[in-house]
Structure 1
Amino acid sequence: MNTPAAQDSPEAAAREAGALLAEAEKLYYTQPAQTLRLADEALALSAALPMATLATARRVRGLGLSFLGRHAEALDELQAARGLVPAGELLLECQVLRALSIACDEAGVLDAALDWGTQAAAVARTLADPLQLAGTLLSIGVVLSKGGDPEAGLVQYREALALYERAGDPARSVHVLNNMGINCKNLGRHEEALQHLQHAIEIDGRQPAPGGAQVIARLNTVEPLLALARRDEARAALAEVVPRAQAVGYPNAECFALVLQGELLAADGDDAGACRSLERAVAIALERGSRQHVARAHKALWGLHKAAGRYEAALRHHEALHEAERAQFNEESDRKLRALQVQYDLARARHDAAMARLESARLAEQTRTDPLTGVANRRQLDERLRDEYARAARHGHALAVAMIDIDDFKRINDRHGHAAGDAVLREIATLLRAHCRDIDLVARYGGEEFCVVFVEASAKDALRACEAMRAAVEAHDWPAVAADLQRVTLSMGLAEREEADGRQALLAAADARLYEAKRNGKNRVVPELQATA
C-alpha cells in the first residue's frame, strides 16, 4: 500500500521501495511468494522510481519466481532487470548477473548458470568488493558441484571462505564450510568433511547465525561419522538434530534426520524405535509436501516389516516406495523437460540478442558509410578526424589529410551518363583504399570529392601515398568501366597537422591546396601553396 510520504515524494517512494526490496531479498529462498508480494508492492509505490530501483525490483522478483519454480518467467524478469541497470552501476550489474546464475541453477541449466556466475565474478573483481565476489564464488561452487565436479567446487568454496573470514562474516562462513563438508563427503574424504563441518559448528556456537545453520552442519556430520564407524557420535548428533530441526522449522532436515536415525536404529536391532522414526519421517513428508527423503523411509520400513514377517505392512510400504519412486522419476523428468525448455528459451534469447546487435551494428554502419562507394561518409570522417587530431596533438604524432577531387567529373556525367559517373566514383573509392593502410581513413566528402586521413604518417609518407593514388587512377583501365571513357585524373591537396590550428583548419588547408592543384592544370598533388607574385 502506498504511504502518504511515498505518494507525495518520488524520493520517499524510492526509499520505501528500497526498504521493501531489502526485506524481500532476505526471503526468496524460504518464502518466495512473500518475496514476490513485497517486490510487487515496491513497484506499485510510484511510476517514477529510479532505474536502479526498478532493476533491483525486477531482480528480486526474478529470484522469487525462480524459487517458486516459474523458471521461464524468472529468467525473463532477470533479463529485463539486466536491461535496466544504469551504465556504470557495477554493483547492481554484479547482483543481476549472480541472480541469473542462481535462476539458471534452479532451472537445471548448469552451463548457463556457470556462464552467468563467471561474468558476475569478473564484475565483482573489477569492483574490488570482497563480499560480492565471495557470494558469486559460492554460487559458482554450487553449480560446479551439482554438475559433478565437487573438486572444482571446493576450489571456489575455499576462495569464498577466505574472503568471508577476512570480512568477519561468520554466518556466510558457516554456509560455505557446510558446502565444503558435503563436497568432501561426496569425494569420500570423510575426515576432511568432518573438519569443515565441525569448524562450521564451532563458529556458529560462538556467533549463532539466523535460522538453523548449525542444525544443517550437525546433520551433515552423520554420514561421514557412519562411514568412519563412529556410530555413537552419529547417534548423538541425530538426537540433537531432530528436535532442533523441528524447533527452527526445517522439515527437510528433520525428515532426513529421522530417516538416518531409523536406519541406524534398525542396524542396532531396535525394530520398534526404527519404525517410530521412519513413520514419523513419512508423516512429516506427507504433511509438508516434502518428497525428498520419503522413498528412502518407505524402503527402510519395507525391509523392517518384511524381516519381521509383517507382510501386509511390508506390502503397503513396498507399494508406497514404488509410488514415491515413480513420483520422483516424474518430477525429475519434468525438471529435465523444464530445463530443456529454459535452455531453448535462453538459446533463442541469445540468438535474438545477437541478431539485434548485428542489425544495430548494420544500421549504425549505414549511418557512417557512403551507400554508393562503401567508404566512410562525412559523419564518420568528422568523428574520426576529431579523435585522430586530438590523439595526435596529445601524443605528438604525425597526421596528414588529403582533399581529392575528380577532374572534369561533370563532363564524365554529361558525356557518359550518371550510371557511368557512379561507376567511376565506386572505382575511385576502390583505388584509393588499395593505396592506403588499414589504419588510414578514406571518406567521400561530397559529390566527386574524397578525403583521406593518414594516421601517424609524415608529410613525406602521405605525399608518396597520394602520388601512388594519382598515378593508379591515371593508369587505370577506364574503358572497361565505361565505353569511350579514356581517362580519369585526380587533383589533390595535402596538409599536415603541424601547420594547422585545429582539424577544421587542417581540412581548410588541404582544400586550399586542392584548388591550387586545379588552377595549376589538374592531375597533380599540391603539398604546399605556391607563392604568388
Structure 2
Amino acid sequence: MDDRNKPLLQVAMTAEALASQGDRAGSLAQARALLPQLSGAGAAPLAERLSALAERCGDFELALRFYQAFHRLGRDEAGVGGLSDRAALEARWPALASAGKPLCVALLEADQALNSETLEPALMQMVQLQRAQCRAHDLTLRHGPDRLLLVLLDIELAAARNACERVRRAVKAHDWSGLSATAGGLSVSIGLTALRGGEALDKLLARAEAGLQAARREGRNCVRAGLLAD
C-alpha cells in the first residue's frame, strides 16, 4: 500500500470499529467517504475489505460499488490482461489460509505448443473463457510464462472439479481459428487440489503441479487431482 492510502486504512479501521459497536450508520458514513479516494498501489485489498464491511452493515449497493472498485484497482495493478502473479497471491495468502473456509487451486496449461506470437492472445482468451465459467470472486493469476492459476474461494473439491471441467470443455469447444498456430484447436490439462488446514502455499501449489503432470500423462485435455507422498 502506498503512503497516500495509509490514512484511508486508519479510517477503514475506525469504520470497522463502529460497526462492531453497533453503529452501522456511522460505519457506513466513514466507509462511503473513502470510495472516491481509493487509488494507487495496494488499494485493491482495502476496497475488498470495505466491500465486506458494507455488506455486513446491510448496504449492498455500497458493497457492490466497493467490489467493482476492487476489480478495477486489481486490473490496474496487474497490468496487461488484468492478471496478477504469484507475488500478489503470496501477499494475500496468510489471510486466505487462516480464514477457515474451503479453498481450491487449479493449475492450467495448454496441451499444444504456443509460439511467441500466439501465447499472449491465447492465454488472454483462456482467461475470458475461464472467467465465464467461474464466479466473480474467484482469482485468476499468471503462473510462469505459459500457465494460469485459478484460486477458487469458498468451494469444496467436488464443486471445484465441476468448475474446472466446465473450463476444460469451454477451451476445447472454442473457435481458435483466429489465431495462427491454433487453427487445429486448443485444449488444456488441469491439476486441481484443495487447501488442507492452514498449509503453506508452496505445498498446495506442489500438489496442483502433481495433478497437472498426471493430466498430461493420462492423455491431456482432462482434470486430475494432485497427490504427493507425505
TM-score range, shorter chain: 0.5 to 0.7
Secondary structure of the structure 1 residue equivalent to 2:219: coil
2:194, 2:85 → 1: CA distance? Answer: 21
- Which of 461, 473, 492 lines up with 2:190 in the alignment? 492
- Which of 384, 390, 393 lines up with 2:92 in the alignment? 384
1:29-428 aligned at under 5 Å gives the runs 357-358=38-39, 365=74, 368-369=77-78, 371-392=79-100, 397-409=101-113, 412-413=114-115, 418-428=116-126
Secondary structure of the structure 1 residue equivalent to 2:206: helix
RMSD over aligned Cα atoms: 3.5
More relative contact order in 1 or in 2 (CA 8 Å, sep 6+)?
2
- 2:74–2:82 CA contact under 8 A, matched in 1: no
Q: CA deviation at 1:455?
A: 0.9
Distance 1:527 1:386, change over 3 A: same
Q: Which residue of 1 aligns with 2:218?
A: 520
- Which of 441, 445, 450 lines up with 2:148 in the alignment? 450
2:144, 2:102 → 1: CA distance? Answer: 26
Q: CA deviation at 1:381?
A: 2.1
1:426, 1:498 → 2: CA distance? Answer: 30
Secondary structure of the structure 2 residue equivalent to 1:457: coil
Q: CA deviation at 1:504?
A: 2.1
Scaled by the length of structure 1, the TM-score of the pair is: 0.30
Q: CA deviation at 1:364?
A: 6.7
- 1:386–1:503 CA contact under 8 A, matched in 2: no
Secondary structure of the structure 2 residue equivalent to 1:478: coil
1:87, 1:500 → 2: CA distance? Answer: 31
Secondary structure of the structure 2 residue equivalent to 1:425: helix
Which consecutive residues of structure 1, in runs of 5 or more, have no partner in the other structure? 1-82, 94-121, 127-353
Question: Which structure has the greater CA radius of gyration?
Answer: 1
Distance 1:432 1:385, change over 3 A: farther
For residues 244-272 of structure 1, what are the alpha-carbon distances to aligned partners after superposition, in whole Å with 9 as ceiling and x for unaligned? xxxxxxxxxxxxxxxxxxxxxxxxxxxxx
- 1:373–1:425 CA contact under 8 A, matched in 2: no
- 2:90–2:201 CA contact under 8 A, matched in 1: no
1:456, 1:366 → 2: CA distance? Answer: 22
Distance 1:365 1:519, change over 3 A: same
Q: Which amino acid aligns with 2:85?
A: N
More helix by share: 1
- 2:187–2:221 CA contact under 8 A, matched in 1: yes
- 2:215–2:221 CA contact under 8 A, matched in 1: yes
Structure 1 runs, 4 residues or longer, greater than 3 Å off: 357-368, 481-484, 528-531
Distance 1:472 1:87, change over 3 A: closer
Q: Which amino acid aligns with 1:509?
A: R
Distance 1:87 1:428, change over 3 A: closer
Q: CA deviation at 1:502?
A: 2.7
For residues 143-176 of structure 1, what are the alpha-carbon distances to aligned partners after superposition, in whole Å with 9 as ceiling and x for unaligned? xxxxxxxxxxxxxxxxxxxxxxxxxxxxxxxxxx
Which consecutive residues of structure 2, in runs of 5 or more, have no partner in the other structure? 19-35, 45-71
Q: Number of matched residues?
A: 176
Pairing 1:469–2:177 present: no
Q: CA deviation at 1:458?
A: 0.8
2:202, 2:228 → 1: CA distance? Answer: 21
- Percent sequence identity over aligned pairs: 28
Q: Which amino acid aligns with 1:460?
A: A
